[in-house]
């Protein structure tokens, strides 16, 4: 009896993915839940696992091939296999043959090694399942070029960002936030917060709360354009941009307006861990009515974020910098952060955008107002 190896569901609007690499080879023993292959869709990387035990008997797709949800990419010949046996099979694979063998009478030290460029290409191909072209100039010049195929995720990022620029009338407005009140509040209650809730208190949860307040007051920034209609929502599903080695992903914080600070912090930490380990699921990335991106973690002082289609607005946070500011006629030093709001000018007027950003600023500088709903 054969067990079919099928491509899992990729979620709404995703109809294909790339088979990045097989993790097992024909003849390998596998047990239930063993990782057989890795696929990469437009948004995330997923693992294809075995639904039964046996021996991998057929592989219908090769590394780098496009696959569709539900497509059969291989077969397992069913049979009882112990996990120890499967592990031993993987461990006992023969080592690769040396690149060159010394001629009779020639010492090992004089054996010619394989060219570094070829070796690097083979290693990369083994890791990613994708060919890598390395072009080197003469050794004396020390110059080289390297061509690496764009991943499915990188292609999607490029397509969606260009789509946003081509479709929306993007405009950006700026303001700055005095972070001292939030920093004082955070310092005062950070230990008690972590002791009670088991999670650290970061700045992002404050910004999420501030954005929810702004979206409630100015709902057009939480809306989107569909054809010739504007779709308004009475809920706030906020995307939190997370940077990974493979690119930027934006998992969505559902019903952010109904969440407490601890719930927000736990969700953000969970999304970051899942994103960096490749464990995000399609449902984690669906929808989203507004997004927040934090370039400040990389030291960015100011930027103009690009919309995440079909959303109509995105908030950009930046690095906190000690700067002189005027307070009550006096020059003082305060920890300041520039914030940027990019919005779709087709439906969002400048007045609403500026007032939204002012609301965020006030909520951060007077956090008690949000708690007291004033």
Residues recognised as catalytic: 345, 349
Among 248, 294, 253, 245, CA closest to 270 = 253
Question: SS3 for 226?
Answer: strand
If you ran DSSP here, which 8-state letter would residue 256 be given? Answer: G
Structure tokens given for 188: 């005062």
Burial class (CB within 10 angstroms; exposed 0-12, middle 13-18, buried 19+) of 155: middle
**Residue for token pair 């927000």:** 264
- Residues 368, 183 contacting (CB under 8 angstroms): no
- Residues 19, 59 contacting (CB under 8 angstroms): no
Q: What single string gives the DSSP state of each residue in 84-139?
A: HHHHHHHHTPPPPPPS--PPTT--GGGSPPPPHHHHHHHHHHHHHSS--EEEE--T
State the Cα–Cα distance between residues 345 and 358, nearest whole angstrom: 18
Start-to-end Cα distance in the chain: 67
């Amino acid at each position: 009896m054969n067990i079919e190896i099928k491509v899992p569901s990729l979620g709404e609007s995703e109809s294909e993915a790339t088979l990045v690499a097989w993790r097992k080879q024909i003849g390998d023993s596998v047990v239930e839940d063993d990782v057989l292959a890795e696929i990469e869709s437009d948004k995330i990387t997923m693992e294809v696992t075995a639904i039964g035990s046996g021996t991998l008997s057929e592989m219908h797709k090769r590394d780098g091939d496009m696959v569709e949800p539900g497509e059969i990419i291989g077969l397992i010949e069913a049979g009882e296999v112990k996990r120890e046996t499967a592990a031993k099979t993987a461990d006992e694979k023969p080592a690769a043959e040396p690149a060159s063998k010394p001629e009779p009478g020639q010492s090992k030290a004089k054996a010619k090694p394989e060219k570094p460029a070829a070796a690097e290409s083979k290693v990369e191909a083994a890791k990613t399942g994708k060919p890598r072209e390395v072009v080197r100039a003469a050794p004396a010049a020390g110059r080289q070029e390297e061509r690496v195929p764009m991943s499915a995720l990188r292609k999607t990022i490029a397509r969606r960002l260009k789509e946003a620029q081509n479709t929306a009338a993007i405009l950006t407005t700026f303001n700055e936030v005095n972070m001292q009140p939030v920093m004082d509040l955070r310092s005062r209650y950070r230990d008690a917060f972590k002791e009670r809730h088991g999670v650290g208190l970061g700045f992002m949860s404050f910004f999420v709360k501030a954005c929810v307040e702004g979206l409630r007051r100015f709902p057009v920034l939480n809306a989107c354009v569909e054809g010739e209609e504007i779709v308004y929502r009475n809920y706030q599903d906020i995307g939190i941009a997370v940077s990974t080695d493979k690119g930027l992903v934006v998992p969505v914080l559902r019903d952010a307006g109904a969440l407490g600070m601890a719930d927000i912090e736990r969700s953000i930490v969970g999304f970051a861990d899942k994103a960096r380990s490749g464990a995000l699921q399609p449902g984690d990335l669906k929808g989203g009515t507004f997004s927040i991106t934090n370039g400040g973690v990389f030291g960015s002082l100011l930027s103009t974020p690009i919309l995440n289609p079909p959303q109509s607005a995105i908030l950009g946070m930046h690095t906190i910098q000690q700067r002189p500011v005027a307070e009550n006629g006096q020059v003082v030093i305060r920890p300041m952060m520039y914030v940027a709001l990019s919005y779709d000018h087709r439906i969002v007027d400048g007045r609403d955008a500026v007032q939204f950003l002012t609301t965020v600023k006030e909520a951060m500088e007077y956090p008690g107002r949000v708690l007291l709903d004033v």
